[in-house]
Amino acid sequence: MRKLKIAWLLLASLTASIGLSAQTVSGKSINGNYQPLVHTLVLSSVPTIQAQTKVRPYEQWEATQFVAVSGHQPEDYVLTDNNWEIMYNLRTPHTQRELLDMGIKCSDSQLLLLEVGGLINKTEGKWKCTIPILDQEQTNSLRSISKEIAKSMYSKTKNDFVLLVQTIREMGFENNALSLVFSYLLDGRMWTKLVLFDDINNHAGWSGCYWVLYEPRKDLKFGTNGFGDMNLILTYLNSEVSPSSKTMDDCADEISKYGKINNPQLISKLIPYGLTNSNGDIQFPIIKQQQDSFHEITDRLVDSISSELKNNCSNIAIQYDINDEKTAMVILYHEVMWYLMDNLIQDKVLHIPAVFKDEKKNKQQLNDVVFFIEGGLMQ
């Protein structure tokens, strides 16, 4: 099974010249200082042609990947050469000749690579970007709508969220409440009711969807990574806080086989993160497939949230020029679930884990944002 990689680009630095904050994606910092590209004509006496539209550097936008990865993730294609400039200008269909005349460098191989990567396609001789790129007005509008939907959802479901956190406490997993509410419920089980990766788009190396908003979300933006057979789950603000993917995959495999960690070398890698003790005993929740209060409440919340989301999703694709309704639902729900988390934290139903407050100082408490689920997250 492919590893779940959900990327939230939040590149954070300020660009004083245009007064906009840069952002990050999926916990990864993205390097990519943009240098304006010019296309020089053969005759030196002819002035250089510059691109008609100045493109804001990629790192100043907020790109989100909701993808299952088997090869390259979409971002890998975007960060190569001036591919972001090409994609941005292909929000409006253009031929290759038109792009070159606009001063945008674009070779046959670049266009082919972006097509193979599922980011552009060609219709009636013109190339067009296939991923949603929302401008400032569209981004503000989407977030305003999402916030109102989340507010309505929360008013109807708060009691169940409180009951769920109480149940998690009774299970002995109080410190893992935020991770379980977000990554198990909102960013896990919810997708089985809404849409799965393969239901949206399948491309070379990845399935799911990828989109770009004009500016970063100002509040917390949690993400989820799955390891092994998507049964070892990490909730993160910065995915680099955890051990390597290989170490986490090995950890998942050992738990699946033995219910603990037997490999001494692996134990030594996991102990500094508080994921196991010296005997290899697991120091985070293992969620079993069974009928109990935890599953009953999460199922009820999944039904309530998905029903209201679908009632508010019908015009989103048309309103924001998104190719299909499933992609529109994914984009809308991401914003909604982060606003739901805002509400839960503001009302102190959930509390921020120590490792999110200071990653280095509290590294040994990574076990507060990790859990293992029998059968995998998307069961």
Helices (H) and strands (E) in the chain, counts: 14, 15
Strands 232-236 and 223-227: antiparallel
**Residue 208 to residue 70: CA distance in whole angstroms:** 12
pLDDT value of position 17: 28
pLDDT value of position 323: 84
- CB crowding 138-147: b at 16 or more within 10 Å, else e: bbeebbebbb
Question: Taking the model in full, what pTM does it have?
Answer: 0.82
pLDDT value of position 41: 32
- The pLDDT profile of the chain, 379 residues, written as one tens digit per residue, is 334 443 333 332 222 222 222 233 333 333 333 333 333 333 333 334 444 568 999 999 999 998 888 889 999 999 999 999 999 999 999 999 999 999 999 999 999 999 999 999 999 999 999 999 999 999 999 999 999 999 999 999 999 999 999 999 999 999 999 999 999 999 999 998 887 766 777 888 898 899 999 999 999 999 999 999 999 999 999 988 999 999 999 999 999 999 999 999 999 999 999 999 999 999 999 999 899 999 999 999 999 999 999 988 888 999 998 988 889 999 999 999 999 999 999 999 999 999 999 999 999 999 999 999 999 988 7
- Separation of CA 212 from chain center: 11
pLDDT value of position 44: 32
